Structure 1
Amino acid sequence: MLAACGGSDSGSREGTTSGKDAKKILPAYMASNVVAPDIPAKNGSAMGFTGKLDLAALKTSVPKALGKGGKVTVMSPFWGSPPKADNAYYRGMNSLIGVDVVWQNQDGNTYDQKLGAVLASSDVPDVVVVPGWNMTGRIPSAIISKFADLGPYLSGDAVKEYPNLAAIPTDAWQRSIFGGRLLGLPQPSPYVTGIVPLYRKDIFDKQGYTVPRSADEFMALAKEITDAKAKRWACLDMKWTAWQMFGVFSGSEKPLGWNLVDGKLVNRVETDEYLEALEWTRKLFAAGVVHPDAKLGKTAPDPGPKFAAGEFLIYANNISQWWGRTAEQATQNPEFKVWGMDVFAHDGGDPHLWAEQPAGIFAFVNKKASESVIRDVLAVANVTAAPYGTKEYMMTNYGVEGTHYTVKDGVPVKTDKGNNEVSNAYVMVASPAATIAHPDFPAVAKAQVEWQQRAGSFTRKSSFYGMQITEPARYTNLSDGFEQLEDDITRGRKKISDMQQAVSDWKSKGGDKLRDWYRKLLDDNGTAAS
């Protein structure tokens, strides 16, 4: 089986696995037929459910508990205050699965530090959850050396013992291959960009504003909206939307920043589109149409309250905020309506969007775990990967009816106990294919999926899409200064020429050698993009 390419800095295998070698490792795909979505997935979108919830009609996707009663410890990031260890949610889930899962919740904000310390020690829990954004420094090499190969249990038809895992899309499993072995249990995600230009549709409708379809139209509208004396600005920092408008390769993960163009491997920072997107964003700031909070960069406060107050009308953020902002304003501000703009090309034509990775969070099993522990972990994952509309999904995501949630008019509502206990836990082990369902706001769920499907029709996969790549450690910090420099340029503190100089330095300090390394990877393995 393919190991990787190039020499290793850390004794671990660098590189990736794709093509023929991956096919031997990947689980067979077997679509779930337990529940049919109202809107099937298309063009890389999530699937959508737009109906009310009928608890009496919930299907069963795990007829009998597969767990054998063993104990499994799980270390996972947690945001907020973790619940008590022996709570009703944990008891209910463990009873359903047939496994005694013991949670070692760690602060999600400092998780990378804890992860590094634990993986460097000899005391590794049975299961460790690693989000993609924590896979920096030495973490990828630790993953390869510390965790068990799940291939013997899941590759090919073996996965059919766990039908909900068999229904996870193949692209997500492809991302779970590290150093030539199937190591991770994935949380699948849509490959369509998750960043949406969100806007106040209620105010747009009232004022007669037209949703822009080009960079020039956006600027003109921004100037029309802005009235600093009245404490109204057009937008926040629109850099993420600028990347989309100008067709810049994805910056969400280092491998996605590379793409084969006319036979040459090119990085996003070397492209004209990258500089043009920065320049357009700089002009927005210079025109005074950006809310003053955005000038603070990462230290800016939560945009929710000022967006609700109408201090700015447009901001780019994760698609989940479409529902989140709607839900938080529904009772106190019934006129409030947030919607998503379709992404447009800067010149008014069709956009050129780039695919994101199809899985972003993974659970790994300790290399020293016995077969019975591994089987118990897979029993956990087979429940947590149950599709929407099943009893297992409701239990995983909402807890025990009557204790953690109630259902009113077909809408599940968490109780205080539910909000406290049913959070950041079992969903971290594995998830079903990407799903959007908001029984409380079905129109938002429908609009989110349809937005993804339209964006997906203009989305292409770059050369390293879907591949789990471990760069040599010597290049780990090569791109460290770019994000700060982008923000300095857009806010007028630095010039475009400073970025051109930074790119030149990047090339000479290792960028060109890294290009050669990626090129060899591509020549040896081919691409996973289709």
Structure 2
Amino acid sequence: MVQHQIGRRSFLQLTGLAGLALATPATLAACGPGNSGTGASGAADGAILPSYLPYTGVRPDLAGSDTFMAAFYGLPAKPPAAFPKPPAGGGSVTAMVNVFGPPPPAKSHNGFWQALDRAVGTDLELNMVPDSDYPTKTSTVLAGGDLPDIMNLPLYTPRLGQVLPALFADLAPYLSGDKSHDYPYLANLPTDSWRPMVYDGHLFGVPVARMSTGTVIFTRSDILDDLSLDPNPGTWDDFVALAKDLTSETDKRWAFDDPHRLFTFAAASLGAPNTWQLGRSGEFVNMITSEAYADALDRTRQFITKGYLHPNGFSATFDQTRANFGTGACVFHSDGYLAWDILSASYPDIGIDALRPLKTPDGKAYQFTSAGALSLSAVRKGDEKSVRRSLEVLNWLASPFGTKEYLLRKYGVEGTHYTMSDGAPVKTALGTTETALPLQYVVDSAPVLGPGPRDRVDAQYDYHKTVAAELLEDPSIGLYSETYAKQGATLQKIVTDARTEILLGHRPVSSWADTVSQWKSSGGTAMGTEYTQAHAKNPR
């Protein structure tokens, strides 16, 4: 298939990528803690976003909505077909995506991949790049201009708000509003997951969707039960009292595992904004300038000084924090919502629940939302036929939970790649090897809870339904700031370095005012002004 070409020098000059190696997710976290926006310009409003279309072909055990997930105890006995025939209409489609494990066998030796092509109706060629090499490969491909039909781009890609309109198709003519119903399984993705796809009134990319629930504070419910402790503290002070009762150096048990995630939990519990806040006059105010942020620094430092944080909290890897939780060395663990199933599978004999948001001093409880998307898959510029073929492929890959297409994509061909046991698919050795295509990082089905044991699914559903009413959005999601695009990593480092020094006890909390002044003069004020202007142009 003919690839879209753009001169390397022109592209580098256009995007400012000359001499710039793509940074890592950690260094390009957005300014102010927690924001990982794409650099989109102009708010994502109802005129641009796809109209949400719930899928009704498989009835959930517990109904969901656009803001919280439906839940399933198991797969349907008779999975329905999502498509009457292969939708892509022949030809070939190329895609570039990252792979996190060993790559699967090549298509010529991979029966699953061949079955996938037949079901989709096209020759799907995947360029699977190891995750460690993906930033460099992305930079090379974007600068060279020899683009695949579909390219997965992390939200932290530098200059993404400039890269997208320069190289990739505006999908608004195909997906905005009810037009998205031509691709019903893309329209089934949560509305919030589409917001980071918007740039200056245009829609660039399909989200690898996640619910915008944000970070979950998991609890070892079995330990709390054994100690006869209340698992539902109401306020931050109640939480600190619970941490005191839990912590025991004799038993090698501490309350929390990670100081920075503990701080974010404290900030939400004490009423800080979720990264940015709209002021009364429509101005954007960053959370680091709030009194609640400084209060959270002080309270978190006190928590650490009292010995309630694991001794290795500042040095532990993320995998080690999960292990500390699983072994009972820590009773609370901050993680993504998908970790509920991961932790349950890794430690099947422990009890797991999730802490509800604490009440802030104003009596309300807030759950900080996330961006709603892990990454995006952009479609290269081309004629309408080629763009629609790519969208047909993406729509097929987003086939909803419980359909025949979902089963094929996730597990392969029954009898060859998996067998059914007690109503659940169990992969064969061949299935484990051949189905390792990273399709879920091109696009995935709308998120659901389950399938799984009824008690776990019920607990997950109760948590998500509760926090859905307490979500606090970051209003900068879907907005573009040139200062953030150029200086985001530098501004974030100012904040992170100073916060770490305070939490370690190397600097007093009173020094935070100097950090805020430095952040403002280094670009923070300009960034807020740019977000304010972008929001005024296209308010949500």
| Residue in 2 that maps onto 1:327 | 345
Q: Which deviates further from its counterpart, 102-111 or 152-161?
A: 152-161
Structure 2 residue 78 is the aligned partner of structure 1 residue 57:
yes
| Structure-2 residue corresponding to 1:524 | 537
**Residue 311 (structure 1) aligns with:** 329
Matched to 1:92, the amino acid is A
Say which SS state the counterpart of residue 279 (structure 2) adopts: strand
Q: Where does residue 23 of structure 2 map in the other structure?
A: none
Contact 2:43 2:535 in 1 (8 A): no
SS at match of 2:517: helix
Determine if contact 2:154/2:374 at 8 Å carries over to the other structure.
Answer: yes
Contact 2:190 2:211 in 1 (8 A): no
What aligned pairs does 1:66-215 form with structure 2 within 5 A after superposition? 66-86=87-107, 87-132=110-155, 134-135=156-157, 137-193=158-214, 195-211=215-231, 212-215=233-236
Distance of 1:349 and 1:24 partners within structure 2? 35
Deviation at 1:42, TM superposition (A): 4.5
Change (3 A) 1:145 1:347: same
Trace 1:28-427 onto structure 2 (pairs within 5 A): 28-42=51-65, 44-49=67-72, 51-54=73-76, 56-86=77-107, 87-132=110-155, 134-135=156-157, 137-193=158-214, 195-211=215-231, 212-237=233-258, 238-251=262-275, 257-261=276-280, 263-296=282-315, 299=317, 301-330=319-348, 334=349, 336-345=350-359, 347=361, 349-367=363-381, 369-423=382-436, 425-427=438-440
Q: Which amino acid aligns with 1:461?
A: E
Q: 2:482 aligns with which of 456, 471, 480?
A: 471
Structure 2 unpaired stretches of 5+: 1-11, 17-38
CA deviations on 1:10-40 (whole Å, 9 max, x unpaired) are: 7569862347xx5554444433221232222
**Residue by residue, what CA displacement relative to the aligned partner does 1:222-251 show, whole Å, maximum 9, x if unpaired?**
222222233222221222321321233334
Q: 1:301 to 1:163 in 2, by over 3 A?
A: closer
CA distance in 2, matches of 1:71, 1:345: 54
Change (3 A) 1:239 1:404: farther
Question: Cα 1:62–1:494, aligned 2, differ >3 Å: closer, same or farther?
Answer: farther
How far apart in 2 are the matches of 1:233 and 1:171? 36
**Residue 254 of structure 1 corresponds to which residue in structure 2?**
none
Structure 1's 262 and 272: CA in aligned 2 closer, same or farther, altered over 3 A? farther
**Deviation of residue 180 (structure 1)?**
3.2
Determine if contact 1:247/1:354 at 8 Å carries over to the other structure: no
Q: For the Cα contact (< 8 Å) 1:116–1:139, is it kept in 2?
A: no
- For residues 524 and 346 of structure 1, the distance between their equivalents in structure 2, rounded to whole angstroms, comes to 32
Structure 1 runs of 4+ aligned residues shifted over 6 Å read none
Contact kept? 1:293, 1:301, Cα under 8 Å: no
Q: Is the 8 A contact 1:215 1:348 kept in 2?
A: no
Matched, 1:501 2:511: no
2:42 corresponds to which letter in structure 1? T
CA shift, 1:262, in A, is 6.0
2:444 is paired with a residue whose SS is coil
State the match for 1:6 in structure 2: none
Larger deviation: 178-187 or 503-512? 178-187
Deviation at 1:390, TM superposition (A): 0.7
For residues 101-147 of structure 1, the C-alpha deviation after alignment (integer angstroms, 9 at most, x for no partner) is 11111122342232122211122222110132x33x33432222111
Cα 1:274–1:406, aligned 2, differ >3 Å: closer, same or farther?
farther
Counterpart of 1:305, as a letter, is A
1:286, distance to aligned residue in structure 2 (A): 0.8
**Equivalent residues of 2:206, 2:378 under 8 A apart:** yes
Cα deviation for residue 76 of structure 1 reads: 0.8
Secondary structure of the structure 1 residue equivalent to 2:476: coil
CA shift, 1:184, in A, is 0.5
TM-score for the superposition, normalised by structure 2: 0.85
1:4 matched residue in structure 2: none
- Listed one character per residue, the Cα deviations across residues 156-196 of structure 1 (whole Å, up to 9, x for unaligned) are 44433322223334443343223432221123332222x11
SS of 1:31 mapped into structure 2:
coil
C-alpha change, 1:169 and 1:310, in structure 2 (3 Å) is closer
Distance 1:346 1:525, change over 3 A: closer
Indicate conservation of the 8 Å contact 2:67/2:190, yes or no. Answer: no
Q: Does 1:444 align with 2:466?
A: no
Please state how far the C-alpha of 1:276 moved relative to its aligned partner.
1.5
Distance 1:181 1:349, change over 3 A: closer
Aligned partners of 2:236 and 2:270 also within 8 Å:
no
The CA distance in 2 between the partners of 1:44 and 1:153, in whole Å, is: 24
The letter for the 1-side match of 2:279 is L
Which residue type is aligned with residue 269 of structure 2? M
**Alignment match, 2:41:** 16
Q: Contact 2:98–2:129 (CA<8 Å) still a contact in 1?
A: yes
Residue equivalent to 2:29:
none
Higher mean C-alpha displacement, 451-460 vs 174-183: 174-183
Cα distance in 1 for residues equivalent to 2:52 and 2:255: 46
Cα–Cα, structure 1 residues 275 and 414, in superposed 2: closer, same or farther, change >3 Å? farther
Q: Do the aligned residues in 2 keep the contact of 1:151 with 1:182 (CA within 8 Å)?
A: yes
Q: Distance in 1 between matches of 2:115 and 2:342?
A: 27
- Of residues 39-48 and 451-460 in structure 1, the stretch that sits farther from structure 2 once superposed is 39-48
Corresponding residue pairs, total: 499
TM-score (norm 1): 0.86
Q: State the one-letter code of the partner of 2:264.
A: W
SS at match of 2:255: strand
Identity of aligned residues (%): 29
Letter in 2 for 1:291: H
TM-superposed deviation, 1:43: 7.8
Letter in 1 for 2:226: K
User: Separation in 1 of the partners of 2:433 and 2:362?
Assistant: 47
Match of 1:511 in 2: 524
Give the SS at the match of 1:406. Answer: strand
Cα drift, residue 45 of structure 1: 1.4
Whole-Å Cα distance in 1 between the matches of residues 209 and 319 of structure 2? 30
**Aligned equivalents of 1:197 and 1:68: distance in 2?**
46
Shift of 1:363: 0.6
Given that residues 476 and 531 in structure 2 are in contact (C-alpha distance below 8 angstroms), is that contact kept between their aligned partners in structure 1? Answer: no
Separation of aligned partners in 1, 2:491 and 2:198 = 25
Q: Distance in 1 between matches of 2:212 and 2:367?
A: 11
- Matched residues in 1 for 2:419 and 2:321: separation? 30
Residues 366/189 of structure 1: CA separation in 2 closer, same or farther (3 Å cut): same
Query: Aligned-pair RMSD on alpha carbons?
Result: 2.6
Pick closer, same or farther for the CA change 1:295–1:508 going to 2, 3 Å. same
